[in-house]
A = this chain, B = another copy of it.
Amino acid sequence: MKHAKKNKFRLFIAQKGLKSTRQRDIILDCFLSSSRHISIEELYLKLRSKNPNIGYATVYRTLKLFAESGIAREIQFGDGQTRYEHANEGEHHDHLVCTRCGTIIEFENQDIEQLQQEVAGAHGFQIENHKLELYGICAKCR
């Protein structure tokens, strides 16, 4: 799994004529071994603990590359922090976000997706992607 993503990124880098660098490897390893929804700040701090000389800008730039290559996806939960999640080929999921503790649960629901298609169709829209977030209180916090 992790290996597949490393390869995918390597390929992306090659196809784009970009260079393989020590920093990109480090950041990729760190990202892949992190929780599924990590903010740039969190990742940066985690990186710095082992690589005190890695730059802020490099982390930002590299995460954008991950997203472009398809191994990560940018998400925003409206708290002013951009997060990146691990993206898997052709897979899409939505989120339940606890407004108390911040826990994020992923889910997938084909019925909802189906209904979305119908709604879009009724308005002549062709869906490219969507965003569904349910905000509330998780079981633990209640």
Contact = CB atoms under 8 A, between A and B. Distances in A.
Given A78-B76, A128-B99, A139-B125, A134 B119 contact: yes
B120 A136 contact: yes
A109 to B, nearest CB: 6
Copies in the complex: 2
A131 to B, nearest CB: 5
Contact of A137 (B126, B135, B137): B126
Contacts of A135: 127-131
Contact of A131 (B99, B115, B126, B133): B133
A116 interface: yes
Given A76-B78, A137-B126, A139-B124, A109 B105 contact: no
Interface string A96-140: 101100000101010110011001100111111111111111110
Contact of A134 (B105, B130, B138): B130
Nearest to A110: B115
Contacts of A109: 115, 119
Ranked 5 nearest A-B pairs via Cβ: A124-B139, A127-B136, A128-B136, A130-B134, A131-B133
